[in-house]
Amino acid sequence: MNLLVIGCGRVGSDLAYRLYKQGHKVCVIDQTEKAFSNLPDDFRGRTLEGEALNQHVLHRAGIEKVDGVAVVTGSDTLNAVVGHISKLVFKVPNVIVRNYDPHFRGIFEAFNLQTVSSSSWGAQRIEELLYGQEVRTVFSAGNGEIELYEFMIPQDWEGKSLGDLLPGEGCCPTAITRHGRALLPDMNMLIHKDDILLVSATLEGAEILRKNLDKNNQVEA
């Protein structure tokens, strides 16, 4: 793919290098030439010094022909505006923007931009780890609003229904693996010791699930 990364700080440089190593054609824009020193020595993509709000700079970067743009500067307002321009003016099919300060999330939502909020996701992930690891996170969707959790059914839940274990809201069964075979579960299914249950849940739903497991000292990683 032909990809454009705007911002060459820690996030942008690492992203650009990852994309380059995957064989993609990558151009990186930053307003400061010194920022390109963040890129590894073997990076062979294009670098372009300039202000991303300057449409002449975007034209030089070939924005009209890119398959995707990642706007990951340290400025939330700049990321939102450049992301909006990329999507609305240049019709880039895939635009991803970085959100640093959660207080600015409303700007990105107003522009209907696909957003990765490292601060919000990181804070939520740390909170989850502080609660314990009996229910393990295996995938995070969006900015962590919904996550997939995996855990093994303990002995004390043998023969009970899935509906008895899971909370009524904020938690949906996704799959059960039993004897190496995955099944699509429903809330009436009887569960057995050593079943591996995968659920999609909000943070609140996952916490209720943990409490249900803890009621009878039923914790098993």
Q: Residue 94 belongs to a domain with what CATH number?
A: 3.40.50.720
What pLDDT is attached to residue 8?
97
Strand pairing category for 95-99 and 68-71: parallel
In-domain check, residue 142? yes
Q: What is the CA angle 36-42-43, rounded to 5?
A: 50
Let me know whether 110 and 177 are in one domain.
Answer: no
Let me know whether 99 and 203 are in one domain.
Answer: no
**CA–CA separation, 26 and 18 (whole Å):** 10
Count of domains observed in the chain: 2
Last residue of a domain, one of 67, 91, 119: 119
CA-nearest of 32, 28, 55 to 43 is 28
SS3 53: coil
CA-nearest of 16, 3, 22, 113 to 61 is 3
pLDDT, block means (10 residues), the chain with 221 residues? 96 96 97 96 96 94 96 94 95 94 87 87 74 74 87 89 89 92 92 92 89 62 40
Let me know whether 111 and 194 are in one domain.
Answer: no
Last residue of a domain, one of 119, 148, 173: 119
Last residue of a domain, one of 95, 119, 143: 119
- For 183, the domain range is 126-214
Let me know whether 138 and 99 are in one domain.
Answer: no
In-domain check, residue 115? yes
In degrees rounded to 5, what are phi and psi of residue 142? 60, -125
What pLDDT is attached to residue 129?
63
The Cα diameter of the chain in Å comes to: 66
What pLDDT is attached to residue 219?
42
Let me know whether 111 and 23 are in one domain.
Answer: yes
Q: Check which CATH number belongs to the domain holding 183 and give it.
A: 3.30.70.1450
Let me know whether 82 and 151 are in one domain.
Answer: no
Let me know whether 31 and 77 are in one domain.
Answer: yes
What pLDDT is attached to residue 127?
76
What pLDDT is attached to residue 131?
63
Let me know whether 108 and 83 are in one domain.
Answer: yes
**CA–CA separation, 15 and 153 (whole Å):** 38
Let me know whether 108 and 139 are in one domain.
Answer: no
Return the amino acid letter for 140.
Answer: S
In-domain check, residue 220? no
Global pTM exceeds 0.75 = no
Let me know whether 136 and 78 are in one domain.
Answer: no
In-domain check, residue 221? no
What pLDDT is attached to residue 123?
82
Residue with token string 């249950």: 197
Let me know whether 94 and 200 are in one domain.
Answer: no
What pLDDT is attached to residue 183?
93
What pLDDT is attached to residue 133?
52
